Chain A
């Protein structure tokens, strides 16, 4: 079945440590996105990529980095510069063309700072 796979489901980070969240899709979608979800808040865009080897900052990119070396993969690194990284992270992808194509979301990664 086609879809988006995020791993791991749960991740614990120590202070000052970088961690990388994986996002893989086999939907042949060009566009991929990373969102952060905090309790009581709407999803906020961290980074997005419309094509391979290109990505753009979203609304809250500080302390995060991404790469898009392959169409299928869009990993997110949470760096030590992100002061409050504990959150639920969602990856999404979208088919090209008309905007009415739905976004497909992964199952999320819950990151906790310990």
Chain B
């Protein structure tokens, strides 16, 4: 069964600090992995999309890594801001239909 597990479930950090969110998956055969940011009561917004051949992808202060061999991904947030408070969702697609497999998300709270 294709699964996507995220950790931690929730995280509280001080403004300006860095943090790393984890995503482990068993989706096979792997097509691509996406990280989304979802503000409360809003739809998810794409941060990064990575294929099998990509190890790292950045989007501003967000850097995603992918290890396709161990089926692990991480999302690193640098110099956190209050606006980073949101849920971060890892989504993995598998061939052939490219159906999306969603993680349950990590809820991040950045405090002053």
Task: Kindly state whether residue A46 has any CB partner on chain B within 8 Å.
Answer: no
Quick one: given A40-B104, A42-B89, A42-B105, are A99 and B31 in contact (CB under 8 Å)? Answer: yes
Task: Kindly state whether residue B49 has any CB partner on chain A within 8 Å.
Answer: yes
The distance from the CB of A10 to the nearest CB of chain B, in whole angstroms, is 9
Q: Is the CB of A99 within 8 A of B43?
A: no
State in angstroms the CA–CA spacing of A110 and B42 once bound together: 10
Q: Is the CB of A42 within 8 A of B98?
A: no
Q: How many residues of B contact A (CB 8 A)?
A: 23
Contact with B along A28-47 (1 / 0, CB 8 A): 00000000000011111100
Provide the residues of chain A in CB contact with B42, threshold 8 Å: 107-108
Quick one: given A42-B4, A100-B32, are A90 and B44 in contact (CB under 8 Å)? Answer: yes
Provide the residues of chain A in CB contact with B46, threshold 8 Å: 102-104
The distance from the CB of A67 to the nearest CB of chain B, in whole angstroms, is 21
Q: Is the CB of A108 within 8 A of B43?
A: yes
Provide the residues of chain B in CB contact with A43, threshold 8 Å: 89, 100, 102
State in angstroms the CA–CA spacing of A103 and B51 once bound together: 15
Of the four ranges (under 10, 10 to 19, 20 to 34, 35 or more), the interface on chain A belongs to 20 to 34
Task: Kindly state whether residue A85 has any CB partner on chain B within 8 Å.
Answer: no
> Which parts of B33-52 form the interface with A (CB within 8 Å)?
34, 36, 41-46, 49, 51
Name 10 extra pairs, CB < 8 A, besides A42-B89, A105-B44.
Answer: A42-B101, A42-B104, A45-B99, A92-B43, A99-B32, A99-B93, A105-B36, A107-B42, A108-B42, A108-B43
Binding site for A on B (CB under 8 A): 4, 31-32, 34, 36, 41-46, 49, 51, 89, 93, 98-105
Binding site for B on A (CB under 8 A): 4, 6, 40-45, 88, 90, 92, 99-100, 102-108, 110
